[in-house]
Structures are given as C-alpha cells and as structure tokens.
Amino acid sequence: MTMTWHRTDLAADAMHERAWNTAVVDGQPIAFIAWDGRWYALEDRCSHAGCAFSEDGEIDGFRVICDCHGSEFDIRTGEVLQGPAQDPVTTFPVRIEAGTIEVAL
C-alpha cells in the first residue's frame, strides 16, 4: 500500500513539546505530538472507547494516556502499554516541509 503525504496547517516551529496539536487529514482526526525534538502522529481516538486523546488525554513522555478509562499507548508505535484497550492505535509518519508538518496516510 502506497502512502501519500498530506500537508497540514500546523507550523512546526509553533508546536510545543507535550502539547496537543490536531488536524483533520483526509477526513481523519490526527493528533500530533512534539517530543524530544521529534514529531509523532497518531489517530486522535482511543481504540477502547473512541475518546479523543486531544480532549481526554495526557502526554507523559512517549506515552499517551486516555483519561476516559486509563488506557495507555506508545506514541512511536501505537502499541497498547496498559489496558483496558486491547487494540493499538494507528501511527503515521511525519515530516517537515517548508516549515509545515506533513503526514503520510
């Protein structure tokens, strides 16, 4: 499956570490997180109950914690670190082009 790069309206220099930045890309809500000098992107919903991380979540290092039921995910891989979620969340490649964040879907 070929991924296509999509430009967002997020300026890379305006992102703060450990802050939620969101964009809807090709109809899909995506959460962008700057951490440790790198950018990460994951679907903006918990795989357990569908809560939006950007509304009901915390960032703790490389972990995203869903405040709805306490599920935790790795922002690098989408892997479940703690349930009740059993399924990972989708992560996406991120790059910076001309100061703007792009994501591959």
What is the average pLDDT score of the chain? Answer: 92
Report, as an integer, the average pLDDT of 78-94: 97
Report, as an integer, the average pLDDT of 57-63: 93
CATH superfamily, with its number, for domain 30-97: Rieske [2Fe-2S] iron-sulphur domain (2.102.10.10)
62, burial (CB in 10 Å: exposed 0-12, middle 13-18, buried 19+): middle
| pLDDT: which is higher, 14 or 3 | 3
Residue 55: its H or E element: helix 53-56
Residue 83: its H or E element: none
CA 21, CA 12: separation in Å to the nearest integer?
Answer: 10
CA 40, CA 56: separation in Å to the nearest integer?
Answer: 18
CA atoms within 13 A on the CB side of 29: 12
Position 13 confidence tier, pLDDT thresholds 50, 70, 90: confident
Angle (CA) 21-23-25 rounded to 5° is: 150
Assess whether pLDDT exceeds 70 at residue 34: yes
Report, as an integer, the average pLDDT of 84-102: 96
Report, as an integer, the average pLDDT of 10-19: 78
